[in-house]
A and B are shown apart, each in its own frame.
Chain A
Amino acid sequence: MKHWLQTIGEGAIAILAWVGRYAIFAGRALRDALRPPFEGGEVARQIYEIGWRSVPLISTSGFAIGVVLSMHTRASLERFGAEAMIPAGLAIALIRETGPLTAALLMSGRVGAGIGAELGAMRVTEQIDALEASAVDSFKYLAVTRILACIISMPLLTVVMDFAGILGGFLAERAITHMSFGLYFTRAFSLVEFQDFIPATLKTMVFGFLIGSVASHLGFETTGGTEGVGQTSTRSVVLASILIIATNVVLVRLIFFFFPVVAS
C-alpha cells in the first residue's frame, strides 16, 4: 500500500507534467496561428459552429441576467431614492464584469465540452491519425482553427450578452415604471465610457484562448475509448472554468493598472 506522501507526490508530479504539456501545446498553437497555411475556410466554419450557434444561449442568458440584475439593483437603490441610477448601474455591472465573465463561463460549458468530446472521439477512433495519414497537419487543422474561432467569437458574444442584458433590464424596468426605451438607454449609457467597454470586452479573447486550448489539448490527449471521451468533456469544462475565473482576477488587476479611470 502506498504511503500518503507518495500519493500526494505522484499527484503533484502528474499535475506539473500536465501543465508543462499544456504550456507547450498552447505555445505551439499561438506560433502556428501566425504561420501559413491559415486554414481560413475551417476557421470560418468553426466561427459559425462555436460563435454563431452560441448566440441563442448567450442572448437568452444575457436577457435573463439583465432582468434579475435590474430587480436586484432596484431593491438596493430604492432604499436611497436613487432609482434613476438603475439603468446606469446595470449597464456598468454588465459591461465591466457580469457580461464578459458569464459569457465566458457559458461558452466553456457549451464549447469547451463540445471541443473536448469531438476531438477526444476523433482521437480514440483514429480520425486524427487518418488526418495525419492524409498529409494534413491535424494540430493546425483541428486545434488551431478551434482556438482562433474561440478567440474571435468570445468578444462578439460578450457584446451580444451585454446588449441582451441591457434589453432584459429595460423590460424589467418598463414593467414597473413604464420608462421609455429612449430614456432608459440614455440613462444606461450616461456613465459608460469606452474604458469600461473596450478592455472588459477584449479580455474575453484571453478567455476564448483558454477555452479553445484547454479543450483541444485534452481532446488530443484522450485515451480509453468512450469513457475517456466523457472524462475529457467534463475536464474541459471544469479546467477551462477554473482558469477563466483565476485569470479574470489577474486581468481585472491589469485593467485597473492600465485604465485607472475604470477603478475609480
Chain B
Amino acid sequence: MTAPPAAVRLDHVSKAFDDRPVLRDVSFDVAAGQAFCILGRSGTGKSVTLKHIIGLLQPDEGRIFVENEEITGLQGAELGRVRRRMGFLFQNAALFDSITVGENVAFPLRRHSDLSDQEIRERARAKLADVGLERDYDKMPSELSGGMRKRAGLARAMSLDPSILLVDEPSAGLDPITSAEIDDLLLERKRQGTTLIVVTHNIPSARTLGDELMLLHEGRIAAQGTTKDLERSSDDLVRAFMRSETGG
C-alpha cells in the first residue's frame, strides 16, 4: 500500500533568533487528511514551526513544502496563493477587534471570493453555526469568552474551506470542558478531510486528536510516532512528557 501524499513537509529546517537557535535541523512529513500534533515544553519552537509552514517566518536553512509546492522564499501574491489553502487558528484567536465576529469570519471571503455580500454573510453565518456561534454574528470580539473567541477564530480559519488547518495551542487558557469542545470541533474538521497540524502541550488533547505525535525538545525532534510509540519510548524525557497531564 502506498503512503498518502504529504500535505506538509519540512526538510532540515533550522531557525535562530539573535543567534539563539530555536529550530535545529527539523524534518518531518504530515500526510494529507491526518492530524499531526507537535508537543513540547514552552519555548521549544512549536509555534515557530507552525509560522514557518504558513510563511510568517522563513527558515535560515532547509526547505518547506505545502502540498508538494516549495514555499521557501515565496513572497507576495505567490505566498498568498498558497496561504489561501491553509487556515490558522492562533493561540489567542487573534480576532480583528475593530469589526464584528461575523465580519471576522467574512473577512477572508470578502478578500478572496467573488461572492455577493448576501452570499458572504450567509456563508459566514453557516461557519459560525458550525462552531455554535450562530447568534453571535453581530457581537464584537471583546464581548466573547475565551472559548467563544477560539471557536470564532476556528470559524474564520475555516471560512475558505482550507485543506490544511494549523492550530496553535487550542486548549491554552480554557477549562477542560471547553477544551474538549474545541477538540471535538477539530475532530469534525479531520473527519471532513482537513489535514490538522496542532501545537499543544495538553497530552489528553493530543491523544484525542493526533494520528501522529512529534515531541520537540530544545529545537530538535526528540520523538515522533503514534501515541503508543511515544508511550513505549525508552527515552526518559518522552516518557515523562507522555505521563504528564499537561505536558508542561
Contact = CB atoms under 8 A, between A and B. Distances in A.
B107 interface: yes
Contact of B54 (A118, A131, A133): A133
B20 to A, nearest CB: 15
B94 interface: yes
Given A133-B54, A133-B83, A137-B76, A125 B94 contact: yes
B142 to A, nearest CB: 12
A130 B96 contact: yes
A133 B97 contact: no
B96 to A, nearest CB: 6
A12 to B, nearest CB: 20
A137 B80 contact: yes
Given A125-B94, A126-B94, A127-B96, A133 B111 contact: no
Give the dominant DSSP class at A's interface: helix
B84 A135 contact: yes
B239 to A, nearest CB: 33
B84 A127 contact: no
A133 B88 contact: yes
- Among B80, B86, B94, chain A packs the most CB atoms within 10 A around the CB of B94
B90 A135 contact: no
Report the contact-size class of chain A (Cβ under 8 Å from the partner). Answer: 10 to 19
A10 to B, nearest CB: 15
Contact of B88 (A121, A125, A130, A137): A130
B51 interface: yes
A126 B141 CA distance: 14
A118 B98 CA distance: 10
A130 B94 contact: yes
A177 interface: no
Contacts of A134: 83, 107-108, 111, 156
- Among A118, A130, A131, chain B packs the most CB atoms within 10 A around the CB of A130
Interface of A: 118, 121, 125-127, 129-137
Given A135-B112, A136-B80, A137-B76, 19 more contacts: A121-B97, A125-B92, A126-B92, A126-B94, A127-B95, A127-B97, A129-B90, A130-B88, A130-B94, A130-B96, A131-B96, A132-B54, A132-B83, A133-B83, A133-B90, A134-B107, A135-B83, A135-B84, A135-B108
User: Which 4 pairs across A and B sit closest by C-beta, in order of nearness?
Assistant: A133-B88, A130-B94, A135-B80, A135-B83
